Amino acid sequence: MALLSVADALALVLADTAPLPAEAVGLVDACGRVLAGGLMALRTQPPADVSAMDGYAVRAADVASAPVQLIVVGEVAAGRPFDREVGPGEAARIFTGGVMPRGADTVVIQEVATRQGNVVAIPRPEPKGRYVRPEGFDFKAGAAVLLTKGQHLTARDIALAGAMNHATVPVHRRPRVAILATGDELVAPGTPPAPGQIVSSNGFALIAICKREGAETLDLGVAPDRLDATIAAVRRAKEAGADVLVTTGGASVGDYDFVRQASASEGMALSFWNVAMRPGKPLMHGRLDGMSVLGLPGNPVSSFVCAVLFLVPLLRQFAGRRDISLPTGRAALGSALPANDGRAEYMRATLATSPEGSLVATPFPKQDSSLLVPLARADCLVIREPYAPAAQPGSPCDIHTLQF
């Protein structure tokens, strides 16, 4: 039977999934979330003509024939508007952000003016509107959608939302991800392994990826290689209301691989099992009562690569992001590669810049899916399509940069 392609497998993972429901959150909790609806300004900014500098608010007509001397009739500070009009021959001391008094239409900066007592000398003409930020200079109430649905909110966006007078914003609920490792051989970090045991690391990497993507996580720990224990863990994920259950190990065809059987016994509808990729061929996906189930391989590199290629886009779709697919870049190969077989390959590689300024991706010589040192040192994944011919150094290649 032909293996499913990576593109077809990803399409099945994303099929029939939609952004999660909206909730209102305060601005302090909104950074990194995704807007569930567009936002218009609730106020005009600035709400009136204001000074952009410290200086003197004057009438442009009065300084057109400068040098001139004007009578200072008062002071305007930010938040303390002037209660009278500036008439002919008059000026008002004004500070940055101060509302322009009636009659004044220009600001002469303090570095230019010379003041003695209540008389200020203006040495040169200033055009009308100089150093004045007009009402609505930044935005006007209700004029346009300034933050759009599907926008992944940055700190800059939060500043704009606050300035628009939004105390809360509508965002999609965070995806809830339950993570389950399987295997009698696994022990927690910090535990001395007995003969035949290894230290579990996959779950920690997956939790880190999920948190970076803004998801909530539930660590289900390690299930021993027993069907009843695996079924119990799947039920815990369902009862916790997880949107995604991610398992590592136990999804292959060994005598002690129970994830597929346990999920099916709880009602999972299988989407696919096995994908034409390296690393990560024994990848499983299904749906169980509205919960996506993603069974990742147990080898740490396979688990990580499959999470980057499948789990991250799924979480982004649940979160309502527009940039679901991981960006693909181009680089030149730094070493020769043999012809590829029928599976897409994702090779751990370092990135460097050539003397000409172009990117060079050099795959590690050892690509075994158990090797964590090359994974930790990798900057990108070099993507090799099925049946790609042998490639020489300098040949162009596609890459996924690693940001996790």
Contact 123, 115 (CB under 8 A): no
Residues 85 and 197 in one domain: no
Single residue among 319, 337, 360 that ends a domain in this structure: 319
Single residue among 286, 319, 352 that ends a domain in this structure: 319
What is the band of 3 on the pLDDT scale with cuts at 50, 70, 90? confident
106 in a structural domain: yes
What is the band of 249 on the pLDDT scale with cuts at 50, 70, 90? confident
Give me the helices (H) in 266-330, please: 300-306, 312-319
Asked if the model's pLDDT at residue 256 lies above 80, the reply is no
382 in a structural domain: yes
- Domain around 72: 50-133
Q: DSSP of 15-48, one letter per residue?
A: TT--PPPEEEEEGGGTTT-BBSS-EE-SS-BSSS
Q: At 75, which CATH number?
A: 2.170.190.11
Q: Report the number of distinct structural domains present in the chain.
A: 4
Residues 124 and 146 in one domain: no
Residues 108 and 159 in one domain: no
Return the number of other C-beta atoms located less than 10 Å from residue 190's C-beta. Answer: 6
1 in a structural domain: no
**pLDDT tens digits for 362-375?**
999 999 999 999 99
What is the band of 279 on the pLDDT scale with cuts at 50, 70, 90? very high
pLDDT on residue 255:
44
- Biggest CA-to-CA distance, the chain: 96
Residues 108 and 189 in one domain: no
What is the band of 13 on the pLDDT scale with cuts at 50, 70, 90? very high
Residues 126 and 148 in one domain: no
Q: At 360, which CATH number?
A: 2.40.340.10
The span from the CA of 361 to the CA of 383, in Å, is: 11
234 in a structural domain: yes
pLDDT on residue 82:
86
Q: At 163, which CATH number?
A: 3.90.105.10
The residue-averaged pLDDT of 27-41 equals 96
> Tokens standing for 162?
């606050």
**pLDDT tens digits for 281-321?**
999 999 999 999 999 999 999 999 999 999 999 999 999 99
Residues 101 and 63 in one domain: yes
Q: What is the CA radius of gyration of the chain?
A: 31
pLDDT on residue 373:
96
Residues 185 and 165 in one domain: no
Residues 304 and 384 in one domain: no
> Tokens standing for 369?
């899916």
pLDDT on residue 1:
54
226 in a structural domain: yes
Residues 127 and 149 in one domain: no
**pLDDT tens digits for 185-239?**
888 888 888 888 888 889 999 999 999 999 999 999 998 888 999 999 999 999 9
The residue-averaged pLDDT of 62-82 equals 93
pLDDT on residue 52:
96
Contact 141, 41 (CB under 8 A): yes
Single residue among 319, 350, 369 that ends a domain in this structure: 319
324 in a structural domain: no
The residue-averaged pLDDT of 127-140 equals 97
Return the number of other C-beta atoms located less than 10 Å from residue 359's C-beta. Answer: 18
> Tokens standing for 83?
């209660």
Asked if the model's pLDDT at residue 257 lies above 80, the reply is no
> How many Cα atoms within 13 Å fall on the side-chain side of residue 372?
10
pLDDT on residue 83:
85
pLDDT on residue 216:
97
**pLDDT tens digits for 327-372?**
889 999 999 999 999 999 999 999 999 999 999 999 999 999 999 9
Residues 287 and 394 in one domain: no
Q: At 309, which CATH number?
A: 3.40.980.10
> How many Cα atoms within 13 Å fall on the side-chain side of residue 377?
14
Residues 218 and 308 in one domain: yes
Query: Is the pTM above the cut of 0.85?
Result: yes
Residues 79 and 150 in one domain: no
Asked if the model's pLDDT at residue 145 lies above 90, the reply is yes
